[in-house]
Amino acid sequence: MTSPSNEFECRGRVWKFGDQVSGDDGIIDFSAVRDGFGKGFDQKLLTEMCFRRLNPLFPAQVKPGDIVVGGVNFAHHNHIEVSAAIKLSGIAVVLVESSETGFIRRALSQGLPVVLMPGITKLVQDGDQISVNPATGQIILADGSHVHAKPFSDRMVSIWKAGGLVASLKQEFAR
């Protein structure tokens, strides 16, 4: 049986990005997405463009379970398509120095946890294998050392594990 602490652990390769990464012209090309506004997401387009401007290899090489690490003010000027693109790419968790609360809320509502950890970009390198547990805040770095971020609240964990806000509410109302 998986212990509660391990149940929420995300292990994966780090894709490291810097400070001031814009959601609408760094993570995705927002102008290319908006043509279909109101008609749902073009999932293929979102995954093909995700982080392509910052790392052209990302769309082809990202694997399910990988981890994005970002610097200060990560995903500013973001829209709902930004967190959708990251989640659709297979990213398990986003670990950032700081970010707008709007990005954090939108991501969690889609089942993508965003963990705040000041100083994280100094502790990891692109390509490192690390582990992040949003429920406990524990982060195990590539060298085996541990650091801690603020853990998710129980409510945040339940939204994340349900797969997002809509799924979480459906579970609650079904009880």
The string of pLDDT tens digits covering residues 102-138 is 999 999 999 999 999 999 999 999 999 999 999 999 9
Task: Count CB-CB contacts under 10 A for residue 97.
Answer: 19
Query: With the CA atoms of 133, 54, 100 and 67 taken in that order, what torsion angle do they form, in degrees rounded to the nearest 10?
Result: -10
pLDDT digits (tens, 9 = 90+) for 18-29: 999 999 889 998
Model confidence band, residue 6 (pLDDT cutoffs 50, 70, 90):
confident
| Residue in 74, 72, 46, 75 with CA at minimum distance from that of residue 58 | 46
147, two tokens: 């650091």
- What share of the chain in percent tops pLDDT 90? 83
Please give the sequence-ordered ranges of beta strands (E in DSSP) within 31-154, or none if there are none.
Answer: 67-70, 93-96, 114-116, 129-133, 138-140, 146-148
Q: Superfamily for 4-174?
A: Aconitase, domain 4 (3.20.19.10)
Say what the pLDDT of residue 130 is.
99
- Cα–Cα distance for residue pair 161/130, rounded to 1 Å: 20
**Is 69 a residue whose pLDDT tops 60?**
yes
DSSP string, 61-75: H--TT-EEEE-TTBT
